[in-house]
Structure 1
Amino acid sequence: MTTTPATSSSPPGGAAAAARGARRTERLLNLVIALSATRRWLTKEQIRTAVPQYADCATTVAFERMFERDKEDLRELGVPLDTGGEDPLFEDEAGYRIDREAYALPEIRFTPGELAVLSLASRVWQQASLAGPATRALVKLRSLGVEPDESSLIGVEPRVRTAEPAFDPLYAATRDKTPVSFTYRRAGGEPATRHVEPWAIVSWHGRWYLVGHDRDRADSRVFRLSRVASAVKRIGRAGSYDVPAGIDPREIVAGSIGPVRPPREARLLVTEGSGLALRRRARSVEVGAGESVGEDVVVVEVSDVEVSADEIAGYGADVLVLEPQDLRDAVVRRLRGAAGA
């Protein structure tokens, strides 16, 4: 998978239709967010205030016509829209909400490749223009005295994230064609500052890589995102360089990385009752095999030393790496950095 700034074009007569379709999609999404973000019934007036696009309706009649069409559209899409009121014994004004139990998805499992696609899609979505109006809808609900339950919106906006904090700033720099600098830690080498013109971000065998022009070496280079050891800084203006035509970032990564090493076994000393995520995916757990009481030896597979070190370091003193040595060194480096901070 490669992430590069996307461009699109519409036929001469299709621009207006495309714009109308985008506004309708945005309006329906905001309506779903408003009706999913609370357990209370929302009246028409509350919905009109919460959904930004309804404010464009010149009259109440126009709003009600649009709202009726939107309700039918949601039901045709399979969204369980209910009508009711706070007190069934009194004829209160009708309210609306989405049956969250009927709308919720069952547990879904994904392959690593599918998770990579979802991760990219969720990140791009968060950068889209839908994010602003959606946020304003929640703010308006609060102003109406309706406290949103944002945990219900997980099914509306997926947030599957990669472990590399460098992903977001490097993706943005790639999109904006902005040169950056960062500290990069090569395998077996000392960290060094790199100055790069980002071209593309590529997912290759479950890892993320940046492809770009290395100004210090005056040549194209590949950087694994998990080895970026500092914040990413912009060092120039947007649009200050061009991406060479005809390049294939995936071919560049494949030629630079070579064959992918198979996963290795790592032996961990884990305190009893801790490291539950490690235990769930362990190849084996030797209860009480440690030198001290209450210590178990847990064997897991490790594909990326740096990513695994991030996870293991989070357990602090409850997890100790016995082997391999490079994983142990990576965890120790993180713990020393935390102690120094």
Structure 2
Amino acid sequence: MTDTPARLLTLLSLLQTPREWPGSELAERLRVSTRTIRRDIDRLRELGYPVEATLGPDGGYRLVAGAAMPPLLLDDEEAVAIAVGLRAGAGHAVEGVEEASVRALAKLEQVLPGRLRHRVGALQSATIALTRGDGATVDPHALTTMASAVAGRERLRFAYRARDGAGTRRLVEPYRLVSTGSRWYLVAFDMDREDWRTFRVDRVAEPFATGARFAPRELPMDAVDFVRRGLHGRQRYAVEVDFGVGAQELPGWLRGDAVPADGDGAAGGDGAAGAGCRVRFETGDSPEWLAARLALTGLPFTVHAPELLAEAARSLAARLAAGAGGGTGTGTGAGTAAAG
């Protein structure tokens, strides 16, 4: 292989396989001398790829973790798998999937060949993920379009559906995308209203970057605080839930609010003090969505407050029991609801 750039790419692709490669085997695969392999290894190191060499009669090379993340080479199957995973996570706003994931998806989809983009779309359309309870999903294409506009500082146009169902057209200067774990929000400066606004991404349709660049304005506060302030305008309520397991067994979004159970038997199911833990926090999420989220933990729990959440849990349990042909009980294996 006499084409040096092509040879380097092939060499890099081989080294990204988690194994050690003897220099002679690399030379044989690339049809060059071991001396050429050593020079190519030096070139990769100069480009920031941490290639480690081992001593021995044959010599061996492997790619190791370095101080920075160099570019990766992906084959067709790997690229499709990563794109599908990122699109699924972004589309359902899975907790822990932050703006960085959307930026990665935007970069990947920008360079995907047409044949692979078609495969990703086909897999996505044929897949249903059980991740949310309120049915509000996000179009991954819309999300990546917004992320690209944020990164490129391009004005964005889109159709927007307000809470009351009224439709409008918006022209904005996008500033940041913010994930709350259950929803995505776009923080942007609305050109027509001449003010900062927060838009729920699942209510956005047909977004496109206009190509018009803008100098970023200064948001009065951090983007996360701006979204949080808007959410706090909704009715918030205090939540109190007992779990029949220790705090270390709770998912991350609950663990930080857990304290030892009061020992009144509500948490552990056996009446023993400390048999479980109690979680207390405030939220603006709908009781129906929060009840579904609690049920999806798969852990035994009892709702003590508020009554609205207890009612939502009882209703969810009844619907699940009826759907499973088990009648309309007051609880499921996942939990029960009791007004505290």
TM-score under structure 1 normalisation?
0.45
Task: Name the structure, 1 or 2, with higher relative contact order (CA <8 Å, separation 6+).
Answer: 1
